Homo-oligomer: A and B are copies of this chain.
């Protein structure tokens, strides 16, 4: 029961908006778990269409359209979890540059949104080659453009 109340309080402090004071009080590990969840799901829906764009698995227009719609929404979810209070959490690949150069981190997010907007526009054309190119651009410039500077490399 205690845990449930805590969940409600934490939830209120988070998904309820980016109130700096509330976020500063939330357990950093919880913020990391939430932003990580958003990254895991972006991976689920992006890395199922990247192989289509690369010609490694059959192209499925319905799945591409669905996944891009999901990514539009998921792409909005991780950012309020990157609070300075999480800088010392060990179970994350997030690099210190996120907090030391927030303007550059913000620009990388905006770049991702921009690539996603182009992907949305490409999906609307219905042209498979255009869509495939936009999927790869979103992954290479959008996702990886941010990961290169702000996420530790896998061992």
Establish whether residues B77 and A11, one from each chain, have CB atoms under 8 Å apart when the complex forms.
no
Residue A90 interfacial (CB < 8 Å)? no
Chain A, interface SS category: helix
Establish whether residues A44 and B11, one from each chain, have CB atoms under 8 Å apart when the complex forms.
yes
Establish whether residues A11 and B43, one from each chain, have CB atoms under 8 Å apart when the complex forms.
yes
Which residues of the partner chain B approach A110 to less than 8 Å between Cβ atoms? none
Interface size bracket, A side: 35 or more
Given A17-B63, A63-B17, A154-B4, A77:B12 Cβ within 8 A: no
Establish whether residues B73 and A77, one from each chain, have CB atoms under 8 Å apart when the complex forms.
no
Residue A14 interfacial (CB < 8 Å)? yes
Q: How many copies does the complex hold?
A: 2
| Shortest Cβ distance from residue A47 to the other chain B in the assembled complex, whole angstroms | 3
Establish whether residues B3 and A49, one from each chain, have CB atoms under 8 Å apart when the complex forms.
no
Establish whether residues B50 and A8, one from each chain, have CB atoms under 8 Å apart when the complex forms.
yes
Establish whether residues B154 and A12, one from each chain, have CB atoms under 8 Å apart when the complex forms.
no
Residue A21 interfacial (CB < 8 Å)? no
Q: Select A47's contact among B12, B17, B69, beta carbons within 8 Å.
A: B12
